[in-house]
Chain A
Amino acid sequence: MILKSVRSRFSGLFVIAMALLSNMSAFDAYAQSDSHADRWSQWQAKTHLVISAGRANFPRIAAWMLNAVNDQFPDAEFSGEILFTGSGYGIELKNLQRGMAQVAIPTPSATPYMSYHGVGVFEQANPNVRGLFRIGQRDPITFAVPAEWGVNSVEELIKRKIPLKIATGHQDDDDTTGFLFEEVMKAYGVSLAEMRSWGAKIEPMRGPARRCEACSRERWIRSFTKPL
């Protein structure tokens, strides 16, 4: 009886998985079809606002904003969309710079600073960046190690060349947490390469951001069902 129930549940899961796969495949075919651009454009009103909004709370903020902006327009004259990039860091402002979006929601306050000045994770300055408003959120960096190591400071961690396995952000051109970790260690006098040479492992906490370098909007949409 139990086996029968389990088998039935697995069969159900299999059907759902197959349905999803075939649906994704159909969506992918649709996204690549000639009619796709036309159909997509039917959703776009005279004024269309794209918000690059990362993950977690960011898309919620974007949805509130789109709703509020929509109320300022006559019926059916406004449309909007939100890009779920999975980031919330540099990629949001890079989407702005590349014309993929008109509004970005990044964290922390240092990210738009870096974009404006073309420093840190940004190679090019974007002097057109303007802040619309700030949503206050108290957030300190936490740097923590096991107490059993008896380490009292970052200097001691480096001096003892502890082969730590640390969870932080990606070392790429997007993730400002991973970038900050590298810069902080550099300011303490050690590079990530040196740390790795003594056995340290630097592990990203989550997957990398969705990105679509120099691509069209249609290719961006396709990227959600198929690797670029």
Chain B
Amino acid sequence: MLAGKVDSIFHEATVIANPLWKRLNEQKPMRVLSIRQDVIDVMAKFGFRKYDKIIAKGSYPGVIDDVVTIDYSDFFQIDDRLQSMAGSGFRPDAPPDQSKSQARNRRRTCW
């Protein structure tokens, strides 16, 4: 957008909190649009939901009115139940074996 290759954006990540967003708005003021509630509701069939916070008017450059939008939060660690660590004895819910870690650290710490 800063290079002028595109003029609009539909993107994840906290675009409006990025310092480049401020610079862009100084060069070319933008307007952040809301997404209608019934449209957000349709997206529920794909697991998307409403962003649980209204982006308040004036909180960032380009937020001329309160903005309602779609949530795109979180990283997930996903595991395949059939394959992962099969037969290894690894249990993701088990507490770490501290004695083993400490023993390893004693042997290997060299800095």
B39 and A187: CB pair below 8 A? yes
List chain A residues, Cβ under 8 A from B67: 140
A49 and B85: CB pair below 8 A? yes
In the bound assembly, the distance between CA atoms of A166 and B51 in angstroms comes to 22
Give the contacts of B74-100 with A (CB-CB under 8 A): 74-85, 88, 90, 92, 94, 96-97, 100
Q: Chain A 148-167, CB within 8 Å of chain B: the 1/0 string?
A: 11011111010000001111
| Cross-interface CB contact of A144 among B32, B39, B82, cutoff 8 Å | B32
List chain A residues, Cβ under 8 A from B14: 138-140, 142
Count residues of chain B with CB under 8 A from any CB of chain A.
64
Q: Nearest CB to that of B68 among chain A residues?
A: A140
| Cross-interface CB contact of A72 among B6, B36, B64, B97, cutoff 8 Å | B97
A145 and B70: CB pair below 8 A? no
- Is A180 on the interface with B (CB-CB < 8 A)? yes
Q: Nearest CB to that of B13 among chain A residues?
A: A139
A103 and B30: CB pair below 8 A? no
In the bound assembly, the distance between CA atoms of A53 and B38 in angstroms comes to 33
List chain A residues, Cβ under 8 A from B111: none
Given A71-B100, A107-B75, check contact A130 B39 (CB 8 Å).
no
Q: Chain B 3-19, CB within 8 Å of chain A: the 1/0 string?
A: 00111111111111000
Q: Nearest CB to that of B45 among chain A residues?
A: A119
| Cross-interface CB contact of B80 among A69, A128, A168, cutoff 8 Å | A128
Q: Give chain A nearest CB distance to B47 CB in angstroms.
A: 3
B75 and A57: CB pair below 8 A? yes
